[in-house]
Structure 1
Amino acid sequence: MAFWRSLFLPTLTFSAIFLFLIHGGHCFYLPGVAPQDLIEGDLLQVKVNKLTSTKTQLPYSFYSLPYCRPEKIVDSAENLGEVLRGDRIENSPYAFNMREPRMCNVICRLTLDAKTAKQFKEKINDEYRVNMILDNLPLVVPIRRLDPESPTVYQLGYHIGLKGQYSGSKEEKYFIHNHLAFTVKFHRDLQTDSARIVGFEVKPFSVKHEYDGKWDDNKTRLTTCDPHSKHTVVNSNSPQEVEDKKEIIFTYDVEFQASDVKWASRWDAYLLMSDDQIHWFSIVNSLMIVLFLSGMVAMIMLRTLYRDISKYNDLETQEEAQEETGWKLVHGDVFRPPNNSDLLCVYVGTGVQFFGMILVTMIFAILGFLSPSNRGGLMTAMLLLWVFMGLFAGYASARLYRMFKGSEWKKIAFRTAIMFPAIVSAIFFVLNTIIWGEKSSGAVPFGTMFALIFLWFGISVPLVFVGSYIGFKKPAIENPVKTNKIPRQIPEQAWYMNPSFSVLIGGILPFGAVFIELFFILTSIWLNQFYYIFGFLFLVFIILIVTCAEIAIVLCYFQLCSEDYLWWWRSYLTSGSSALYLFLYAAFYFFTKLEITKLVSGILYFGYMLIASYAFFVVTGTIGFYACFWFTRLIYSSVKID
């Protein structure tokens, strides 16, 4: 209590001072997301990002294809999260002036050879998209719905090209989108006449441009797209084929449209993913599970346990009570340290580390600090929070280790700091090697790899040792009842109390509480969509915590009633087994929703989902363990033992 008081009072004092001074404070914006006021004629520089495909999940740099290049390619500064996501933001030859429309602006002309034609064909066949950025807004393609009243749906980036039959030919051909019709939407300030960009859209066209005479970069005028005659591209009736020795001319238009959308709301259209009713249905579905489990826990706690404890504490009926129920008969063994207790301490500490990271990340996301406009911010925040939560991981594992009468706290601290990250790093290194072999921009560079290793060994490991030292120096947690020297024999159990069966059953309900929201998370990750409904996600996370805790308590009570006192590991595995169902659902999602056909892409998908499932196992298992730990201490501290 003193620890929490010392933590809470300074926080409360700081909050009070902050609220008192806030009226005189100045607003600030996060780096990279401040509004930019533009006047007519200001230069707008379009940046290009990675090429992405939902079929291969392998990003590539924009200039990995022979697109038009500026005089000098300049890489933008990227944070850790952007690098890990495979973002490669660079400048481009697409440049125009604010509120000055352009028509048929020629970027460059190139002639394909067999190699470049093959590169374009491969990317078109894999349905790669080109991603661009203007004023920190991603380029989108508007797609109208059949229902005119429905809001417009936006897809990130435009396809490199398309394939199909043309002019009655039965042979399938490839066509490239070489003309881009940009639309820049802006919100105008009537007082200052400045404007802010609130939208960046494009309509791609494949056009076989024509011109008279020989090509001259400065004098040649296109007959298919001429700004002097107000003639621009409106369709792709004569598409540009991708083939060896074919000439391609890249052009673009830019149109400016005034918009009523304010700068603060410009991301709303991008984040329109689905109907909120589906998420509310997910919440209601999860709440029904929670209410069902809460009813069972309430019945156990208020009726059965209260009656059992009352009878047991009554000396006249103590013998009768012992014959009626079995959980009190194992009081001398229930707190006996389990097999592999060191490993349990490590997993519990790692679970605390993950739990703290997820909780703080969601709080920051709900408060708006992890806006999608701050690209890579979410992943960067999660990595840094994971590192600094090592302090709590060491503390939790050392406290439990001390309770088990352990004496080598340095050994347990080292295993807590190394084991889980080492397993994840091994999987990640194999996957990164595969990505590197595919020459994808998603491969983590050596500099970033060194930064990750430094965060692990330079910050996380020392913090785990500091937390372990503090936790081990604390007085050991005293058990409410004494442990017998000789273990009690466990009677033969019914088939439904078999450890494997009860563990597998225990994971169904926690997974059922989150699987609907899990669909949207997988869609955002693997289908290149935004996910920014952290309010719903936080509610689902709370429901997951309650569900894991309650199912672990219910099954732990049934186990103790059958005189099986080996609850330590089973409490962890009961709720942690929900990770198995998560991985199975990921496999189901792979075969039903994704169109991945390449072996490499499949390995990447299942590799990353294995890491995610492992992390989910650690978090849910720790929740179930602490719930049962609290439950057993509560009930056994309520009975009188001679």
Structure 2
Amino acid sequence: MRKEPSAGRRRLLAAIAALAIASLAIGARSDASDHRYKDGETVPLYANKVGPFHNPSETYRFFDLPFCSPDNVKDKPEALGEVLNGDRLVSAPYKLNFKEEHDSKVVCSKKLSKEEVAMFRAAVKKDYYFQMYYDDLPIWGFIGKVDKEGKGDPSEYKYFLYKHIQFDILYNKDRVIEISARMDPHSVVDLTEDKDVDVEFMYTVKWKETETPFEKRMDKYSHSSSLPHHLEIHWFSIINSCVTVLLLTGFLATILMRVLKNDFVKYAQDEEAADDQEETGWKYIHGDVFRYPKHKSLFAAALGSGTQLFTLTVFIFMLALVGVFYPYNRGALFTALVVIYALTSGIAGYTATSFYCQLEGPNWVRNLLLTGCLFCGPLFLTFCFLNTVAIAYNSTAALPFGTIVVIFLIWTLVTAPLLVLGGIAGKNSKAEFQAPCRTTKYPREIPPLPWYRSTVPQMAMAGFLPFSAIYIELYYIFASVWGHRIYTIYSILFIVFIILLIVTAFITVALTYFQLAAEDHEWWWRSFLCGGSTGLFIYGYCLYYYYARSDMSGFMQTSFFFGYMACICYGFFLMLGMVGFRASLLFVRHIYKSIKCE
């Protein structure tokens, strides 16, 4: 009877993979253009956003600053992932037709009022940068510079606005290969004083032929993460993680297995000895070890949510390894997260309801609702708060009403129905909980234990080792997500992820054994909490990264960083908690099958 659900789950996973790849393939196409142009033909140039360089979440529309705007500013239609990424592309004031050169061409001449001068000066103070896209190639540049004259007194600083951009473009036959923007440091406007200023915005365009093929034009953006110095650090991280895994494996093989072997021999001798001899150790609690945990509905919901997030992570890695998330494929990752999370909700429903019914839960419908809200609920509340903050700041990080409606429809028409279908399938699977020992009617009293065997110290011990195996790689991930580095070595990241799973499983199994050996039979929740405790360490690393390794500041950026990282770490807690419990369950079933229990 169990083969049919597993086959059905395989078909479901295959369908999810096909749908996700298809949706990303559709979303990855930026334009109907084939990126081929004739001499003098218009090449699409879009201005995207501006914002403080050190606050990646605090971004604003390009024309929120009083730049020269074209006569008809047109918004570019954007995919869901682009909107979630804070992109708001509009037509730019520069005309960079294919292979047409310009030398100091005037965009516009305008008189900046005192208020506009103050806006630009505030932006220069905060180290504002701009971002554009030319034929889907990213362009960056700073809008001004600070001249720190004097002896470090900020009141003596001078603020200058760049008014001349030079675009250097490389082409290969009829295709654009590379573009860069350089600001002329000698063509500036002094913004130090509050007074009206006349400014003439100009730009220069230079074209140069290259032999770089079109297929490799994105390689330069991923080159920095592949430098020998960085690769050396990445491999050091993997070696460090592998050493941790080997130590844990050796510990389990030499210590734990030897202890178990001695236990098996001892219990076999006890069975041959007098029947009234008192049992001790983990065999003594064989009648309680499979007693169902407290709050079984919450436990099953956490298990279902963790399984869904684990599946989501595996699919994201699959797409990354096949090259879907190439540098500056705008919004592809966010689109993948939304689509795959919606499509994998059936896995959460099936896992939670099936396990809940195995635990003889009385109300599977309520359990299904709890499963649907366990991760989405905190994420939704966090989003509401952060979106309100972004609206107050008038930032592009605030989602438009239409995008919120689209996400709500995805949740209503895809996530919720699949969750219900998965729950119904789990309810009808008729699986029984496999326990090699019968559970007694009344639980044994747990003997008093020293403080270091309580839940919190055990969680600290369980979370530290997996965290130590990944903390080096965490810096590069944080620098990519909350900075301007580009992360492209997904194969190394996948290896680190596998090591994280192995270390989490090993340490949780070891702590579960010691807990049972101390005759503490309440291991269900303990194994889940110990497995997931790495998520708490990652959040602790967030505090270190924010205050010691980054230059982020301001209420909005702080709120976004700690708010969304709390949701990510909570997701890791559920996912790794599921891994820790599953590993412990396999271990506990194995050792109790190996002895004779009355």
Give the equivalent residue in structure 2 for 1:493: 449
Aligned to 2:144: 161
Q: SS of the counterpart of 2:75?
A: coil
| 3-state SS of paired residue (1:95) | coil
One-letter code of the match for 2:221?
A: Y
Q: Which has the greater radius of gyration?
A: 1
Deviations 1:441-500 (A, max 9, x none): 111111111222222233212211211111121222231111000101111113321222
Q: Which amino acid aligns with 2:306?
A: G
Answer yes or no: is the 8 Å Cα contact 1:332–1:481 preserved in 2: yes
CA contact (8 A) 1:322 1:328 kept: no
Shift of 1:82: 1.2
Structure number having the greater helix percentage: 2
1:88 counterpart = 2:68: no
Q: CA deviation at 1:320?
A: 10
Where do residues 160-309 of structure 1 align in structure 2 (5 Å cutoff)? Answer: 160-165=143-148, 171-187=156-172, 194-206=173-185, 236=186, 239-242=188-191, 244-274=195-225, 275-299=230-254, 302-309=257-264
Indicate the SS of the match to 2:223: coil
**1:344–1:4 distance in 2 versus 1, CA, 3 Å:** closer
- CA–CA distance in structure 1, aligned partners of residues 13 and 471 of structure 2: 37
The 8 Å contact of residues 326 and 563 in structure 1, kept in 2 or not, is answered as yes
Q: 1:129-168 maps to which residues of 2 (within 5 A)?
A: 129-139=129-139, 157-165=140-148
Query: 2:352 is matched with which residue: 392, 397, 402?
Result: 397
3-state SS in 1 of match to 2:290: coil
SS of corresponding position for 2:468: helix
1:464-483 paired onto structure 2 within 5 Å: 464-474=419-429, 475-483=431-439
Runs of 5+ unmatched residues, structure 1:
15-26, 140-156, 188-193, 207-235
Q: CA deviation at 1:271?
A: 1.5
Question: Residues 318 and 268 (structure 1 numbering): CA distance in 2 closer, same or farther, change over 3 Å?
Answer: farther
Quote how far apart the aligned CAs of 1:575 are. 1.9
Stretch moving more, 270-279 or 335-344: 270-279
Task: After superposing the two structures, state which structure 1 stretch, 317-326 or 329-338, moved more.
Answer: 317-326
How has the CA–CA distance of structure 1 residues 598 and 11 changed in structure 2, closer, same or farther, with 3 Å as cutoff? closer
Distance 1:434 1:28 in 2: 32
- Please report the RMSD computed on the Cα atoms of aligned residues, expressed in angstroms: 2.6
Residues 534 and 479 of structure 1: CA distance in aligned 2, closer, same or farther (over 3 Å): same
Is residue 312–residue 322 contact of structure 1 (8 Å, CA) maintained in 2? no
1:55 equivalent in structure 2: 54
Q: Output the amino acid matched with 1:47.
A: Y
Partner amino acid for 1:550? F
**How do 1:10-29 residues align onto structure 2 when only pairs under 5 Å count?**
none
Q: TM-score, normalised by structure 2?
A: 0.91
Over 3 Å counting, the alpha-carbon distance change for 1:136 and 1:300 in structure 2 is: same
2-side partners of 1:320 and 1:366: how far apart?
59
Of stretches 171-180 and 355-364 in structure 1, the one that deviates more from structure 2 is 171-180
In the alignment, which residue of structure 1 is the partner of 2:579? 623
What is the rounded CA distance, in whole Å, between the counterparts of 1:438 and 1:319 in structure 2?
Answer: 78
Q: Offset of 1:5 from its aligned partner?
A: 6.9
Seq. identity, %: 32
**In 2, Cα distance between equivalents of 1:63 and 1:382:** 30
Give the aligned partner of residue 536 of structure 2.
580
TM-aligned CA deviation for residue 13 of structure 1: 12
Secondary structure of residue in 2 paired with 1:251: strand
Between the aligned partners of 2:13 and 2:455, the Cα distance in structure 1 is 46
Tell me, in whole angstroms, the C-alpha distance in 1 between the residues paired with 2:240 and 2:499.
Answer: 10
The Cα of 1:63 is off from its aligned counterpart by: 0.8
Partner of 2:19: none
CA contact (8 A) 1:308 1:321 kept: no
Question: Secondary structure of 2:537's partner?
Answer: helix
**Using the alignment, how far apart are the partners of 2:11 and 2:174 within structure 1?**
43
Q: Deviations over 1:362-404 (max 9, x none)?
A: 1011101232343101111011111111111011111221121
Alignment partner of 2:94: what SS? strand
Contact 2:359 2:433 in 1 (8 A): no
Question: Measured at CA, do residues 318 and 96 of structure 1 come closer, stay the same or move farther in structure 2, by a change above 3 Å?
Answer: farther
Please report how far the alpha carbon of residue 503 of structure 1 lies from its aligned counterpart in structure 2 after TM superposition: 1.3
Matched, 1:566 2:527: no
Q: Which residue of 1 aligns with 2:43?
A: 44
Verify: 1:605 aligned to 2:553, yes or no.
Answer: no
Measured at CA, do residues 195 and 454 of structure 1 come closer, stay the same or move farther in structure 2, by a change above 3 Å? same
Matched with 2:409 is 454
Question: Within 2, Cα distance between the matches of 1:111 and 1:432?
Answer: 35
Structure 1: how far apart are the matches of 2:10 and 2:581?
Answer: 30
Moved more, 300-309 or 68-77: 300-309
The residue number in structure 1 matching 2:18 is none
The answer as to whether partners of 1:322 and 1:329 remain within 8 angstroms in 2 is no
Distance in 1 (alpha carbons) for counterparts of 2:344 and 2:516:
34
The equivalent of 1:526 in structure 2 is: 482
CA contact (8 A) 2:256 2:510 kept: no
Cα distance in structure 1, aligned partners of 2:277 and 2:58? 63
Out of 373, 376, 385, the position equivalent to 1:430 is 385
3-state SS of paired residue (2:362): coil
Q: Which amino acid aligns with 2:141?
A: Y
In the superposition, relative to structure 1, how do residues 8 and 624 fare at CA in structure 2: closer, same or farther (>3 Å)?
Answer: closer
CA contact (8 A) 2:93 2:107 kept: yes
**Superposition deviation, residue 164 in structure 1:** 1.6
1:2 corresponds to which residue? 3
**Aligned AA for 1:161?**
G
Q: What is the aligned residue count?
A: 577
Q: Secondary structure at the match of 2:77?
A: coil
**Is the alpha carbon distance of 1:182 and 1:439 closer, same or farther for their aligned partners in structure 2, counting shifts above 3 Å?**
same
Consecutive unaligned residues in structure 2, runs of 5 or more: 16-24
Cα distance change on mapping 1:318 and 1:461 into 2, 3 Å? farther
**Separation in structure 2 between the aligned mates of residue 332 and residue 514 of structure 1, nearest angstrom:** 39
